[in-house]
Amino acid sequence: MECHLVLNNIGITIYLPPVTRPQFISSSYTPISAQTLAKFCVFTQYNTIIIVIIMKFSCFLITFLLFLSSLPLLPATDVGATITFTTLGRSSYAFDIYALPAAGPPQETRLTDGSSVNFNGHFPSSASLSNLLPLRRPDPKTHLIYVTERNGSSKIYLDVLYDTPNALSGGSRSILEVPTESTRSQVVLVGDEQSNGQISMKDRPSLVGQSLIYISTHEDPGKPRASWTAVYSTELTTGSTRRLTPKGIADFSPAVSPSGVWTAVASYGEKGWSGDVEELGTDIYAFLTRDGSSRVKLIEHGGWPSWADDSTLYFHRRCDDGWWSVFKASFDVEGGIIDVDSVVSERVTPPGLHAFTPAASNANKSFIAIATRRAGSEYRHIELYDVVSNKFHDLTRPVSPNAHHLNPFISPDSNWIGYHKCRGGTNNGNGNDLILENVRSPLASISLFRVDGSFPSYAPDGERVAYVQFPGVYVMNSDGSGIREVSKLYAFATSWDWKRKGVVYTSAGPDFASESTKVDIVSINVDDEDLSYKTLTTGGANNAFPSPSPDGKWVVFRSGRSGHKNLYIMDALNGETGGLYRLTEGPWSDTMCNWSPDGEWIVFASDRENPGAGSFELFKIHPNGTGFQKVVQSGLGGRTNHPWFSHDGKYIVFTSDYAGVSAEPISNPHHYQPYGEIFVVKSDGSGIKRLTHNSYEDGTPTWRPKYTRPANVEWPYGGSKCSFEDCHWLNISPNQASKRQCAHKL
């Protein structure tokens, strides 16, 4: 960070070092916001006394920050630990926000800077930004508020874009062709400081006057399988933040009415999340934006509200005929109170295509912008729908037909339609393709990394990591270098032998297999020039998830050989032929096992409390079959999976839906979160701690017995990868859809 001072026409630039807050500082400590710092950093020689005071304050601040930066805030490289995990589809996103004119030539403009993942934008009105804009330039042409994931955490940014000599004409306003750093000012509106330093996910920002309305997940509801998402309002000039969602309630997808008086959300209300993984069973509520009061339920069964005016909003739902459609709700507002008895809903978009995430405009009520998936299409596109003539107008398909476009939003004058999509290559040097991505950790002694692969595991010395692609097993150094394929098998799960250097165990065969599917445990010598491997199991009855004992003599694994998935232990060197015994037995699934470093325990996931229902809890057992006990229960019908002991055996990391869901699944690909987030718990089951905050599916975590400095690692070949599957449950054809339609009035 740098601060520019001007004194007697002499420019002084002061560089402030990055600071990590030490643990001994109270959690109520709030870092100086970008807005406050800007007020100290930009001034002229209006009053010498004021300048001297500010300079003295600056010197004190700088001295204090330098003192903090000299403290040992982070552990040394040989202290602490690292947790590495995978996120379904996330490494292929590389989203930026783009815009197209609602009318005229389809000239697409990239608005965000090509750094990390940028999504869910909002065009604020200029009046709301009068006290927030950087002072260095007048007359900004475009303002954009959006969610971004960079520097390991989720933030909300304001980008102010200025005109250039080759700007496109857009009536009274113009949007830049490709903004550069010389034509862009960036301000962090909301980071972790608004939640007293707590890590959180942010989403769906809107600006009302000087208040930013948004989603955050920083407050623990205090019970398993309850969603953490709530709507907050932050006064940007003061940093004051208040919760608008009632305690014990989770709200999603907030939208603020044109007047700013009302905010609508998708919410379960008091009933809570019940495990939905495709369409959330939410209703639409509205409340006063100023304080969250006067909360009323407007619509049963609906999501993603968007206001056309203070008595009209659009929303989406999946209909009985199988198609997602956009609906319109109209109601009366009398004396500042919404008359819920007056609400009338009607289906707007016809069956035969999916239509969702609507965006309405107060400036032009004749159309709405929607994301669509048409029958037979593999891609999601943005279309305009004329609600008067009931006609569609393609917006993004003529520009980029073979790309997904998500979550439209409309400029205040209705001239521009924004959305996010994969950016492809950029010319600004920002890497799009990461093999290791740092994720900000709430624990100072543990660093978090997302790996572009599945089922990672570290060698006992922590210097190498194995992981799988589909197909193939790969090994690389812990810093992301030296990537090489060690097997072409279609494999899943990896683990390293504790004693025999370079031996990696995996299972070869299709994933999500039945008990009788042929899947076998194999060991691969990754240091052998020929990369030799040995099949250790016989019969192939879904043998998977191998984990060796610390003495190197045995391997525990799950097998479906009895007709049910239970745990078995076999000889590590010779497999079943060298010795085999059964560890667990029952008409359920015991799976995803991991052996503790001291050899005393085996932790595993099981659905034994509700066999076949998809609900998994964590249990542990001694290798001799004694000491069986439960470690973690997500909640009724919940999922806790992929447990892995820390290198000292004191903790277990796992993935779970313990924190519910954080966003509507339809709003982005792979947001259905069957597992959810990464957690850590003491090995006795106490002290559960949430580590990740996002709306993706995080899974297959593992430990590295060393602390890894937070830094992103790009794939060595460079380039840009942005290819992913849209929500697979949108693949519907007319032959699959019934002829039933949603009721027009509810």
- For the residues of 4-62, what is the DSSP string, one character each? EEEETTEEEEEEPPP----TTS-TT--PPPHHHHHHHHS--SS-HHHHHHHHHHHHHHH
119: nearest Cα among 404, 429, 315:
404
Task: State yes or no: pLDDT of 15 exceeds 80.
Answer: no
Mean pLDDT for all residues in the chain: 84
Task: State yes or no: pLDDT of 445 exceeds 70.
Answer: yes
Residue 412: the pLDDT is 94
Residue 470: the pLDDT is 81
d(CA 655, CA 87): 11
d(CA 555, CA 551): 10
Residue 672: the pLDDT is 64
Task: State yes or no: pLDDT of 670 exceeds 60.
Answer: yes
d(CA 213, CA 520): 52
Binned at pLDDT 50, 70 and 90, residue 431 comes out as low
Q: Which residue has the tokens 């150094």?
A: 477
Task: State yes or no: pLDDT of 13 exceeds 90.
Answer: no
Per-residue pLDDT tens for 92-119? Answer: 888 999 999 999 888 899 999 999 899 9
The answer to whether residues 210 and 235 touch, using CB atoms and an 8 Å cutoff, is yes
Percent of the chain with pLDDT over 70: 80
The answer to whether residues 405 and 688 touch, using CB atoms and an 8 Å cutoff, is no
d(CA 398, CA 101): 13
Task: State yes or no: pLDDT of 44 exceeds 60.
Answer: no
Per-residue pLDDT tens for 141-199? Answer: 789 999 999 989 999 999 988 875 443 333 333 343 445 556 888 899 999 888 888 99
Residue 485: the pLDDT is 95
Mean pLDDT throughout 452-477? 95
Give first-to-last CA distance, the chain, whole Å: 54
Per-residue pLDDT tens for 333-375? Answer: 998 899 999 999 999 999 999 999 999 999 999 999 999 999 9
Residue 139: the pLDDT is 66
Lowest mean pLDDT among 3-17, 115-129, 193-207, 321-335: 3-17
Residue 176: the pLDDT is 38
User: 10 Å Cβ neighbour count for 686?
Assistant: 9
Residue 58: the pLDDT is 43
Residue 744: the pLDDT is 31
d(CA 110, CA 262): 31
- Supply the angle between the helices 34-41 and 48-70 in degrees, to the nearest 10: 130
Taking the CA atoms of residue 362, residue 367, residue 369 and residue 371 in that order, the dihedral angle to the nearest 10 degrees is 140
The answer to whether residues 100 and 396 touch, using CB atoms and an 8 Å cutoff, is yes
Residue 513: the pLDDT is 65
568: nearest Cα among 593, 539, 540:
593
- Give the residue with greater pLDDT, 417 vs 176: 417
The answer to whether residues 697 and 674 touch, using CB atoms and an 8 Å cutoff, is yes
d(CA 330, CA 313): 7
Exposure string (b/e) for 373-385, b if CB count within 10 Å is 16 or more? bbeebebbbbbbb
d(CA 464, CA 84): 12
Exposure string (b/e) for 580-615, b if CB count within 10 Å is 16 or more? beebbeeebbbbbbbbbbebebbbbbbbbeeeeeeb
Residue 637: the pLDDT is 85
Task: State yes or no: pLDDT of 26 exceeds 60.
Answer: no
The answer to whether residues 515 and 491 touch, using CB atoms and an 8 Å cutoff, is no
Binned at pLDDT 50, 70 and 90, residue 615 comes out as very high
Q: CB within 8 A of 519, min separation 6: which ones? A: 507, 508, 509, 510, 513, 540, 541, 542, 543, 544
Residue 135: the pLDDT is 52
Task: State yes or no: pLDDT of 59 exceeds 80.
Answer: no
For residue 477, give both structure tokens. Answer: 């150094």
Task: State yes or no: pLDDT of 695 exceeds 70.
Answer: yes
Instruction: Using DSSP, state whether 297 is helix, strand or coil.
Output: strand
β-pairing verdict for 446-451 and 81-87: parallel
Handedness of CA 263, 355, 404, 467 (dihedral sign): positive
Residue 425: the pLDDT is 55
For residue 648, give both structure tokens. Answer: 């000292």
Per-residue pLDDT tens for 505-552? Answer: 999 887 666 767 889 999 999 999 888 889 999 988 899 999 999 999
d(CA 452, CA 470): 12
Strand-pairing partners, residue 420, are 97, 406
Residue 179: the pLDDT is 54
Instruction: Using DSSP, state whether 371 is helix, strand or coil.
Output: strand
Residue 126: the pLDDT is 75
β-pairing verdict for 211-216 and 230-235: antiparallel
Binned at pLDDT 50, 70 and 90, residue 675 comes out as confident
584 backbone φψ class: left, alpha, beta (φ>0; ψ -120 to 50): beta
Lowest mean pLDDT among 31-40, 357-366, 554-563, 572-581: 31-40
Mean pLDDT throughout 237-243? 93
- Give the residue with greater pLDDT, 17 vs 603: 603
Per-residue pLDDT tens for 478-515? Answer: 999 999 999 998 898 999 999 999 999 999 887 666 76
Please provide residue 52's backbone torsions phi and psi, each rounded to the nearest 5 degrees.
Answer: -60, -45
Residue 671: the pLDDT is 67
Task: State yes or no: pLDDT of 406 exceeds 50.
Answer: yes
Per-residue pLDDT tens for 281-310? Answer: 999 999 999 999 999 999 999 999 999 999
Lowest mean pLDDT among 194-198, 635-639, 716-720: 716-720
Task: State yes or no: pLDDT of 53 exceeds 90.
Answer: no
Lowest mean pLDDT among 62-76, 114-128, 458-472: 62-76
The answer to whether residues 326 and 356 touch, using CB atoms and an 8 Å cutoff, is yes
Residue 586: the pLDDT is 96
Per-residue pLDDT tens for 591-608? Answer: 999 999 999 999 999 999
